[in-house]
Amino acid sequence: MTTKAYREITIPAVILGVLQGIIMTAAFVYAGLRLGFGIGGSTIAAIMGFALLKGVLKKGTICENNINQTIASGINTTGSGIIFTLPVLYLMGFLGNDLTSDIKILGLIALAATAGSFIGVAVIIPLRKQMIDFERLRFPSGTAVSVILKSPGAGKTKAMLMVGGTLLSAFVSFLMHKGLIPESFDLGGLLGFPIYTQTAIYLSLMNLGAGLLAGKGGLPFALGGCLAYWVLAPIAVQMGWVPTPEAMSPEALGVFQKDFLYGNMLRPMGIGMLIGGAVCGALMTLPVLKSVFKSLAQAASASGEHSFLKNDEMPLKYIVVSVIGSFLFLLGICNFIAPEMGFLQSFVVAFAGLVWMILAGMIVAQCTGTTDTSPLSGLSLIAVTLILFLSGQKVLVTVLIGVTVCVATAQCADMMQDLKTGFLIGGIPVKQQMVQLCVAWIGPLVAVTTVAILWKYGSGSPGFGPGTTLPAPQADALQSMIGGVMSGNAPYMKYLSGGLLGAALSVLPVGGLGVLIGLSMYLPFFITLGYGIGCVANMIIVKAKGLSWVEDYVTPMAAGLIVGEAMIGLVFAVMDIIK
């Protein structure tokens, strides 16, 4: 027992967090260019923190380890935003030709990403109260990390369940990586469903674990998938809205229809629904936001008999400074890169970028809170479309603002997961927000440098892009999107119809319905279905055994399922780099 101050923000926690963050950023940027998606680092950082702070230094506390994982994931999450946007400048020839020009543009990109990091953290301040304190969204990864952090005092059974879940998930994920078992089980083929309904179950135990943690809160997401692929998709095919090219085998036709429905109809409409749902949802929850701002102000001046009311949130002035600072920075970028745009056009572009950052932050926070999946790429594509349109097709300006938006959005999702972990272990929000702000510049620097090095010394010539061992699939998709907008083929109508439908869903008295149904259309059905099975299983167990039983037995097991797959993902990424 000790009477010393409780350890929370300490030098070892900060150093360990920064070191892990830097290593993971470099590793995940490489893996992202190779595989096309980012990897979350919170679980790994928490386990390493547990081993080093508690095991080696013998001093670590639960809240101190939380600070370590907050820093590490805050740094590495920037990479997800960078790999999607920056490589496109290399692929389109804006970078990689002249060293002096490259350094200037890369410096601006690092600054843009840092600005995005700051605003991502600032946007979360009022949203934390709404989504964690009031809506109490589950944030499956954040919950999983809290289970790891709490494991020293959670009791033998919970620890064993978590370890069991981790091993099982790691084993299944390993077999999947090695190609020994398929990624999904074709349930539709077994039941005779048409291929275009995508009725397969993703065998990822991480996905199942997220559903198990979400429970009934995640059910609308699963039902939205059923509506999209079992009701709307057959309607579209039966009405003859999906082209049926001649001279195709039935199987090839099924695959064609599946890709067409997903790529040209459901996915764009899903993106539109995400946006419409978020905008309308924000309007519907204005009373709560008003209450949030009121309480932030009240807590700061609490006195007398209510002096125990602590101001654990970052002061409101940080939101104002971040918002104004980011706006001025975006305005400066527009003027610096494309002075021919003039003040008014630059103002409009910068303002649209700022509004989009806030909106996208709200959307990803809602999505990760319920389903653990983030529609980062879809939202970034919309951002790029919008800015490209408003800037009169200035690619460099568009990508720079795209970087800011992408990093801000990724930061929102990560910060919210970390704050959920913080809530569950009793961390102080302002301390987490402060450390994340202090290290916000490190991730962009590491990620930008890594991309530049990989271009110069990557496996092919050029270093990455289609046809090399680092295909950069996300950047390739963004390049296609830019090409589409510039040739006038952007799917504006798809976004509009989806947006209106999302708004109509958000008016219903079920929180976040527009965003959740939109996300279920945006994602392939096999992910939604596997997640939905987890939700239904949770509801059945709650009914049979009660809520406390679920917290005691199902939560640790589900957390283990998430951790195991994340660990295997990291192991394979590191092995790739070593090779």
Partner 1 sequence: MQNTLWILYILVFIIAAGAGLKVSFDPNGENVQHVIVSAWFYPSLIACFLIAFGFKKLQAKEDDKPEDHTTMQSSPDTYLNLIVITYPADGSVSQDIIEKIQSICLQMADERFAYIQKYGIQKFSEFFEHFSHGERYLNRSWSALVDNHHQESLESFQTSQKYFEHALEKYNLLK
Indicate the residue among 175 and 428 with the shorter CB distance to partner 1. 428
* Class of residue 103 by CB neighbours under 10 A (exposed 0-12, middle 13-18, buried 19+): exposed
* Tokens standing for residue 530: 């596997």
Beta bridge partners of 184: 202
- DSSP code string of 271-302: HHHHHHHHHHHHHHTHHHHHHHHHHHHHHHT-
Indicate the residue among 30 and 229 with the shorter CB distance to partner 1. 229
Q: Judge whether 21 and 75 are in contact, CB under 8 Å.
A: yes
Compute the least distance from the CB of residue 512 to partner 1, in Å. 12
Q: Judge whether 106 and 96 are in contact, CB under 8 Å.
A: no
Three-class SS state of 545: helix
Indicate the residue among 135 and 565 with the shorter CB distance to partner 1. 135
Q: Judge whether 302 and 309 are in contact, CB under 8 Å.
A: yes
Indicate the residue among 7 and 34 with the shorter CB distance to partner 1. 7
Query: Measuring CA to CA, which residue among 42, 237, 37 is closest to residue 145?
Result: 42
CA angle 253, 259, 263 (to 5 degrees): 150
Query: Measuring CA to CA, which residue among 489, 520, 15, 424 is closest to residue 218?
Result: 520
In angstroms, how far is the first alpha carbon of the chain from the final one?
48
CA angle 384, 386, 389 (to 5 degrees): 105
Indicate the residue among 95 and 381 with the shorter CB distance to partner 1. 381
Compute the least distance from the CB of residue 395 to partner 1, in Å. 26
Compute the least distance from the CB of residue 5 to partner 1, in Å. 8
Compute the least distance from the CB of residue 126 to partner 1, in Å. 12
Compute the least distance from the CB of residue 492 to partner 1, in Å. 10
What's the CA gap between 514 and 449, in Å, rounded? Answer: 38
Compute the least distance from the CB of residue 493 to partner 1, in Å. 6
Indicate the residue among 68 and 117 with the shorter CB distance to partner 1. 68
Residues near 11 by beta carbon (within 8 Å), at least 6 away in sequence = none
Compute the least distance from the CB of residue 452 to partner 1, in Å. 39
Query: Measuring CA to CA, which residue among 534, 577, 446 is closest to residue 22?
Result: 446
Indicate the residue among 155 and 392 with the shorter CB distance to partner 1. 155
Indicate the residue among 179 and 243 with the shorter CB distance to partner 1. 243
Query: Measuring CA to CA, which residue among 488, 466, 505 is closest to residue 227?
Result: 505
The residues that touch partner 1, with contacts defined as CB under 8 A, are: 1-7, 61-63, 129, 132-136, 149-150, 152-153, 227, 231-232, 235-236, 239, 241, 243, 264-266, 268-269, 285, 287-288, 290-292, 295, 306, 308-310, 312, 423-427, 491, 493-494, 497-498, 500-501, 504-505, 507-509, 547-548, 551
Question: In 105-187, where do the E strands start and end?
Answer: 184-185
Compute the least distance from the CB of residue 542 to partner 1, in Å. 9
Indicate the residue among 251 and 305 with the shorter CB distance to partner 1. 305
Compute the least distance from the CB of residue 576 to partner 1, in Å. 37
Compute the least distance from the CB of residue 145 to partner 1, in Å. 13
Which helix (H) or strand (E) is 201 found in, with range?
Answer: strand 201-202
- Residue 184 Rama label (left phi>0; alpha psi -120 to 50; beta): beta
* Tokens standing for residue 418: 């970390």
CA atoms within 13 A on the CB side of 463: 16
Compute the least distance from the CB of residue 331 to partner 1, in Å. 34
What's the CA gap between 342 and 335, in Å, rounded? Answer: 7
Beta bridge partners of 185: 201
Indicate the residue among 146 and 391 with the shorter CB distance to partner 1. 146
Indicate the residue among 25 and 61 with the shorter CB distance to partner 1. 61
Compute the least distance from the CB of residue 307 to partner 1, in Å. 10
Q: Is the peptide bond before 466 cis (omega within 30 degrees of 0)?
A: no
Secondary structure letter of residue 167 according to DSSP: H
Indicate the residue among 100 and 238 with the shorter CB distance to partner 1. 238
Indicate the residue among 410 and 550 with the shorter CB distance to partner 1. 550
* Helix spans in 197-285 (H): 205-214, 219-226, 233-238, 250-260, 267-284
Q: Judge whether 330 and 341 are in contact, CB under 8 Å.
A: no
What's the CA gap between 72 and 22, in Å, rounded? Answer: 8
**Residue 46 CB: number of other CB atoms within 10 A?**
27
Compute the least distance from the CB of residue 467 to partner 1, in Å. 30
Compute the least distance from the CB of residue 446 to partner 1, in Å. 31
Q: Judge whether 48 and 84 are in contact, CB under 8 Å.
A: no
Q: Which residue has the tokens 């490209």?
A: 388
Indicate the residue among 284 and 533 with the shorter CB distance to partner 1. 284
Indicate the residue among 339 and 546 with the shorter CB distance to partner 1. 546
Task: Specify the pairing of strand 184-185 against strand 201-202.
Answer: antiparallel
Compute the least distance from the CB of residue 242 to partner 1, in Å. 8
